[in-house]
Every structure is written in C-alpha cells, then in structure tokens.
Structure 1
Amino acid sequence: MLTSNDIVTLWEAALSKNYWHKAILLLAAAHPTIAMNEFSLLSIGQRNTKLFRFRDSLFGSDIEAHSQCPKCAEKVEFQLDSQVICDPNVPVWDGGERSIDIDNHQIICRPPTCYDLEMIAPYLEVEDEEGAAYALMKACVFQWLVDGVYTPIDAMPISLVEQVSQHIKTLDPHSEIVCRLACPECEHSWGEPFDIANFLWHEIDNKAQIILSEVQLLARAFGWWEGDILSLSDVRRKYYIEQLHE
C-alpha cells in the first residue's frame, strides 16, 4: 500500500516520462524489491496482470470508466470488476517459446514484452500500424516454416502476421483487455480496448494532484511543512480540511 508521500513521489518521477516508462515506474512502485530492468522483459499479459493487482491494492477492484460512442459520439459510462476482466486464476504466458500452427505454417515465437512495445512506439506515433506489426513480428518470431521448410521471416505476408498476432493474444489472454459496450442513445455496440497502464496512471495523476492541493491548503492555513502534511493519513488530512470550512 502506498502512502500519500509515495504517490506524490511516483507521480513526480513519472510525470515527464512517455507512456512506456510510466508503466515501468508503476510496476517498480508495486514491486520495489525487483530490479527495474526486469519489468521490461515481462510479457504484456504479465505486465497487465501485475498492474491490475497493484490497482486493486490502491483503489479496490471496482472500476468506473467512460468512453465515447464511435457512431453518435454519446458519452458512455461503464463499470468493470478487475477480478473479472483480469482473472488472477487465469495463467499468463511466462515468456517462453511457443509453436503456432496456421494451415501449412509453423511459427516459433515468444510473447511481446514491455521492451518490444517501447521499440515499436515510433511506428505508432505516426500511425504506421503495418510497420509496427512487422517490427513486432521480427522481434518475437524466431522461426517460420512453410510445409516444414525454413523461410525468411522478412518474407512473411501481412495477412499471416495478423493471424500470428491474434494467436499470440489468445495464448496471452491478459495482453489485450476488450470491453463490449453498447450506446444507450443509438444502441450501437462495439469492442473498447481497456488499457490498465494508461487508466492507472490517470488515477495516480488525479490522486497526486488532490493530495498536493490539500498540502497547499493546510500549509497556508497552519504553516505546516509539506513533509509533515504528507505524513498524515488521508483520514486525518481530510479531517483538518473539513475543520477549515466550519
């Protein structure tokens, strides 16, 4: 469980980092005894599972989120249970090599890791999804056999790359969480990806800003030092703030 000071320290360290580094810093905060470079080697399913369990310890398993209907732009609010969408009893891919058979193709591969996602970030920034898919495939596929004959991985067609990607997601079920949503206004339904790393960061960001606002308020009112205020529990800090409004 993080203290208020821990949350503010984490927020300060991650604020200027890119998406991928934010996720690593969140993992490091959840597991302070593990070397940070080890998190880069986690499969995406392993990463997401750890982040869900970290969020459970901070905010509980209930999740309130919102999206926008892609058809009519109506705001759609929805609730999730982290224990359901990321069931801790479902095994995740540990990163070892697996064989995927698609028709006459045999592909030996491993799951994408946090490092791989950072590596393909430049492609995604310019919306080059095909380039990102090929770069990820080259990083994760070790061998490609067609009818038992070794074939250069660079020659793999994009249609097969996409099929391999779908098989990998099946083998690493927590690597991509998709929520089925329906618009209450136009009844359109769609699949909404839920990114726990991004969602948790926004919660940490919001919590840290609330804490710092309370620090500023109490420091002005009582002349207390920041460290003394941050050492207070949420309950005690809230009590003193309520007393200011009486």
Structure 2
Amino acid sequence: METAKRLLDAWERGAPQAATGRALSLLAAAEPESGIDGIAALSIGRRDARLLELRTRLFGDILVGLATCAACGELLELEFSASDLMLDPASAPDEPAILRTSGYELRVRLLNSRDLDGIAQLPDVAAGRDTLLRSCVLGASRDGTEVPADQLPALVLDLIEEWLAAADPQADIEMALHCPGCAATWRQGFDIVSFLWAEIDAWARRTLYDVHRLATAYGWREGDILAMSAPRRQAYLDLVGT
C-alpha cells in the first residue's frame, strides 16, 4: 500500500506541473531517502537512468509505443526493452570539466533538472538552447581575461553542446527506426519522462476507479483498499461486477 500511496501522491503533485516537476515528483516518491534537492542535482542522464529503473520495477522491462513514419505516414507499433536504452550512468563525470577552444578556457558542469526548469517558460527554442548551455558554465576566460557566460560566442556554445552529448549520453536517447511499409529509416528521440508519466497517469486513473467501485460497494476507505494485495483487490472487483 505504501508504494501505491506514494505514487498516487506523486501523480497528484505532478499533474499540474511541467515535465521536470513530474520527473522529480516520481523519483522523490520512489527514493524518499534521496530528497528532492538531491534528485534535482542529478545530471539529466543519471536522472533519466533512475526513471528507466523505476519504470522497470513498476511495469517491467518491455515498453510499447507508437511512431509515425514521416515519409509515408504509416503508424508503427514499437516494442523495445528498457535495458536496451540504459547506458552506463557511471560514465558521466562527477567533477566539472575544462574545455578549450580559440583562446577560450571554460569550466563546465553537466546539466540538471533545475537548469531545465529554468528555461521551461522561454517561448523561443533557440534562446532556450543558448540559455541552457550558458547555465552549465562555471567560469570562462579568453587569453586570461574573464568572460561572462552571456558573452560567449556561438562557437563556444557549440563546443559545450558537443561535450554535453558525449559526457552524458543518457540525457539524449535516440532510437533507430525502420518503416516496413516504405523502407524509410530515421532516428527518433525517446523521452522517458513523458513516456513514464503517461503510464503512471493511466495507472493512477485505473486505481482510483477501482477504489471508487470498492468504496461504493463496501464503504471501505481508500487506505484500506490500497493496503490490499493486487490479487485480493481484483477478487473483490470481480465480485462487485457479478
């Protein structure tokens, strides 16, 4: 019951939030010992790896989704394994890195959930990208002279983007897809936050509907119903349906 209640609480908190808030709510429910601040400080790749692990614990290793072929419009049903999407989170650096290009020297760190939350309200994608890249700069100089992060040129931001992709690959997962109808091939990003949230949302609504049916039939409290094992709860639901 405790796990179900924590997940329902996380679903309730996360429903009005954007993607980053939902990710933090789910992980805080699954890992209460980590604390929300500790989870928010994780790199995006480490956070997403933990979300993949949570998804496996809750719903199993196999994921099923849909994709549309951009070439012919055919709707594809995809079945893949969470373990196939899991990279080595230990490969992401814990300490800031030093980058150098064209006389610039930068001290940079990996992006985290707070950084993503900081650009959530920006309407322009390009501005959001630049703001995000500048947010991971801890210090910058050119030929020994300090340079503010908001004055770094495009070539430096491109270098930061390349470093982030290489240092924290779990943060940007892509799948190679093939259309059996027209033989087109392409790569499509996979977002564990939105995927898992959709599953949690469906599970929460089913669970609350089951609670409603049993509470209406027997007058039981929500906590008592959630405390039942899944087989016992289903047995009572079958009886209500007879």
TM-score normalised according to structure 2 size: 0.88
The answer for the alignment partner of 1:9 in structure 2 is 9
1:135 Cα shift?
Answer: 0.8
Q: Is 1:201 aligned to residue 200 of structure 2?
A: no
1:143 Cα shift?
Answer: 4.0
1:225 Cα shift?
Answer: 2.5
Identity score, percent: 30
The answer for the alignment partner of 1:133 in structure 2 is 129
Look up the SS of the partner of 1:200 in the other structure: helix
Contact 1:178–1:193 (Cα < 8 Å) also in 2: yes
The answer for the alignment partner of 2:75 in structure 1 is 75
1:2 Cα shift?
Answer: 6.0
Q: CA 1:71 to 1:144, structure 2 compared with 1: closer, same or farther past 3 Å?
A: farther
Q: Is 1:171 aligned to residue 167 of structure 2?
A: yes
1:47 Cα shift?
Answer: 0.7
Q: 2:206 aligns with which of 206, 210, 233?
A: 210
Determine the C-alpha separation between the residues in 1 that align with 2:91 and 2:36. 20
1:183 Cα shift?
Answer: 2.0
Q: Is 1:65 aligned to residue 65 of structure 2?
A: yes
Determine the C-alpha separation between the residues in 2 that align with 1:18 and 1:93. 25
Determine the C-alpha separation between the residues in 2 that align with 1:226 and 1:90. 38
The answer for the alignment partner of 2:40 in structure 1 is 40
The answer for the alignment partner of 2:178 in structure 1 is 182
1:117 Cα shift?
Answer: 0.4
Contact 1:48–1:197 (Cα < 8 Å) also in 2: yes
Contact 2:61–2:82 (Cα < 8 Å) also in 1: yes
Q: Is 1:113 aligned to residue 108 of structure 2?
A: no
The CA deviation string for residues 145-185 of structure 1, in whole angstroms up to 9 with x for no partner, is: 56777655434333542342122111112111111112222
Determine the C-alpha separation between the residues in 2 that align with 1:34 and 1:149. 40
Aligned partner letter, 1:199: F
Contact 1:46–1:94 (Cα < 8 Å) also in 2: no
TM-score normalised according to structure 1 size: 0.87
Q: Which structure would you say has the larger RCO, counting Cα contacts within 8 Å and 6 or more residues apart?
A: 1
Aligned partner letter, 1:93: A
Q: CA 1:69 to 1:147, structure 2 compared with 1: closer, same or farther past 3 Å?
A: farther
Could you say what the CA RMSD is over the residues aligned between the two structures, in angstroms? 2.4
Determine the C-alpha separation between the residues in 1 that align with 2:179 and 2:2. 36
Q: What are the ranges of 5 or more consecutive residues in structure 1 without an aligned counterpart?
A: none
Determine the C-alpha separation between the residues in 2 that align with 1:31 and 1:15. 19
Determine the C-alpha separation between the residues in 1 that align with 2:140 and 2:44. 23
Contact 1:62–1:81 (Cα < 8 Å) also in 2: yes
Aligned partner letter, 1:133: R
Look up the SS of the partner of 2:67 in the other structure: strand
Q: CA 1:34 to 1:90, structure 2 compared with 1: closer, same or farther past 3 Å?
A: closer
Aligned partner letter, 2:121: P
Q: 1:226 aligns with which of 219, 222, 227?
A: 222
Aligned partner letter, 2:39: F
Contact 1:133–1:161 (Cα < 8 Å) also in 2: no
Question: Which deviates the most, 147-156 or 186-195?
Answer: 147-156
1:115 Cα shift?
Answer: 0.4
Determine the C-alpha separation between the residues in 1 that align with 2:133 and 2:175. 26
Aligned partner letter, 1:72: C
